[in-house]
Structure 1
Amino acid sequence: MTGDKKQSNVKASETHKNEELDDISPAKPEKTSGDEKSLEEQLEAAETKADGNYDRFLRVTAEFENFKKRSQREIADYRKFANESVIKEILSTVDNLERALSIQKGGTDDFEGLRHGVEMTLTGLMDTLQRFGVSPLKSHGKPFDPNVHQAVSQEESEQHPENTVSQELQKGYMLNDRLLRPSMVVVSKKPDTKGELEEKETVQ
């Protein structure tokens, strides 16, 4: 009987302690309807902003694609018609050459007149090229320069110093400051005097 009473007192004491702990535990704040409304408004505003940013992204992407296509068309047209002005200038030279040939076909034997006409045509063509920044290289008698000269052979020469352009087989041209075509040249070298002396000694 006494044991049951003690056990009952222990249970009562534990229950009392648990009630005290429940009393001192922090109370959870309850959300008010105003807080919930504020969160909903913030969420709605964020969604609206995100939708607006996405729409702007789509517009910018579409504009960029249109710009890229337009640029590609412009580049293609430029490449296609970039030489139009040059070709128009050269066509006048073609006209002059055709006139010169038509005179020859007419049975005339005026070769000097034909030569004069061709010279005038060549002069006009060179003037046209110079207007577009094309100029011929002057190579004959100049020191050989691998940057602008293309040597096709060498020849012994007493009239030119060694490593000098003794013959110009084909003119080179510059386009403004850029090499358009190198000059094809023959380069001089010292005569083989040793071989000549040996030949003279053999003859003697």
Structure 2
Amino acid sequence: MKKSNERRERDFKERIERLSRDAAACSKNVETALGELASVKSALSSIVKELARIKEMLADQNGLTEQKLDAIGDGLEIMEEELSEKRKKAEERSPGKESEYLSQLQYLRADFENYKRFVEREKCELGDRLCECFMLDLLPIRESLEVAVDHAKATGNSAGLLEGVALTLKQLMELMKREGLEEIQADGMQFDPFRHEVLARVPAEEGEAGNSVREVLRKGFVFRGKVIRPALVKIAVSEEEAAPDVT
């Protein structure tokens, strides 16, 4: 389990590094794009101001000369070229690139959300595994108490001890059940290879269903839906199946 935890820790660190690099690169691209768009906006503002100035000059018919008109024409041509260039840059940085950056950000967000869900799931699974190991450690204690209670009942001695052990056993069983431990029902049930483990086969008696559990030799348990220990059982089968193989 220690090696498994170390592998998960390395995997988490690698994913965090990759997400950090991707987020930083995407942020840098967005900042670059915003910087270029700000530059385009500033240039367009200058063009608008210059056009307003030229418009005022044209309104003053008395001050216009052929030389001024030529200068205005040259200036308009330059501004038309510059406006075309700025429009092209704005279009390159606006619809297409904006969509690209948005897609990158959405990918990073989705990847990070998946990562968070993965971490939460791993934490839950790790908690379940720790509880599972704890339950397995408790089972021998529970069984020892059960044996003590059964022995005290059979001998009829030590009534006080029997009462104390029985109470302790009851508390332990309630705790384990509350945490998700359930006993596998086996006695008289049809054999289930996923929940029962066969230790012996005996001939079925009259009226007894074949492949049914005759006796439970050791209880089995399920913890939060997962079999952590199958029940060891003796099953009833046909005489042919029960007979030992002499070949």
TM, length-normalised to structure 2: 0.39
* Greater fraction of residues in helix: 2
TM, length-normalised to structure 1: 0.45
